Amino acid sequence: MSLHENFGSGNTDANPDLKPNDMVPTPRHIARQMIDFFTPALRTAVLNGKLTVLDPCRGTGAFYDQFPDFTLYGVHYNKEWCEITEGRDFFDWPYKVDWIITNPPYSIFPQFLEKCFEVADNVALLIPLAKLVSSLKRINMVMDYGGIVSMRIIGASKCGFPFGFPAAAIHMKRGYDGNTAIEMWPPTYEEE
Ligand SMILES: C[S@@+](CC[C@H](N)C(=O)[O-])C[C@H]1O[C@@H](n2cnc3c(N)ncnc32)[C@H](O)[C@@H]1O
């Protein structure tokens, strides 16, 4: 059963006040590589029982379309999405999920991150690094949630981002108190 049965009208006439930097789609090969970083953890979660992965702002689906298919494991697995331009506002999302993986809208990043922490036990975001570390309040918010499991750093231009700051795939986990692995993004997959 989809969690969406009682959520979102799918109204494509939705007219949100979006900023240009909120609409930057992730190149599909970068999204696929980022999903691959977390696939072993996703597989373990599936094998341990129920797993729901949410892209809370799927845009044209670079992440959502490429979430792995675990149907072979024969256990309950859901992939879900929101996208405000299609009438599904993430701020109205009512359920808990196991993972969020996405590239979020930047102009509302603090509120978006707060909502991610409210609903998900693992949050993996592709974001300009500065978005997370430029505010002590935000760093405290991350530490109160748990902590940062890993950061893989990549030049923004490789992600097609229209700014010069380095970006990173950052995995935050509820209740996490281990070390943070910081490494450079491995060689990127070929562009499709
Ligand atoms: C930076 S784009 C990334 C899109 C997609 N995740 C990707 O990686 O290609 C951010 C997306 O967030 C969507 N968005 C902005 N505010 C939203 C909200 N409140 N709920 C759901 N989606 C939202 C935008 O329409 C846009 O598609």
Cα–ligand 1 centroid distance for 104 (angstroms): 6
- For residue 57, the ligand 1 atom closest to its alpha carbon is 22
CA nearest to 77, candidates 54, 101, 58:
54
Output the CA 23–ligand 1 centroid distance in Å: 6
Average pLDDT over residues 65-74: 75
Q: Whose CA is nearest to atom 17 of ligand 1?
A: 84
For ligand 1, the distance from its centroid to the CA atom of residue 179, given in whole angstroms, is: 30
Nearest atom, ligand 1, residue 106 CA: 1
Residues enclosing ligand 1, CB less than 6 A?
18, 22-26, 31, 55-59, 62-63, 82-85, 89-91, 102-103, 105
pLDDT for 32 beyond 80:
yes
Ligand 1 centroid distance, CA of 59 (Å): 5
For residue 186, name the pLDDT band (cuts at 50, 70, 90): very high
Ligand 1: which of 64, 84, 103 to mutate, judged by most atoms within 8 Å of the beta carbon? 84
pLDDT bracket for residue 43 (50, 70, 90) = confident
10-14, 36-40, 137-141, 183-187: least confidently modelled range: 10-14
Structure-token pair, residue 37? 């970083």
> Which atom of ligand 1 is found nearest the CA of 89?
20
Give the residue whose CA is nearest to atom 26 of ligand 1: 23
Residue 71 is predicted with a pLDDT of 65
As a CATH number, domain 5-184 is 3.40.50.150
Across the chain, what does the average pLDDT equal? 87
Q: Is the CB of residue 16 less than 8 Å from the CB of residue 85?
A: yes
**For the sheet containing 146-154, what is the strand order?**
77-81, 51-55, 97-102, 120-128, 167-174, 146-154, 181-184
First to last CA, the chain: 33
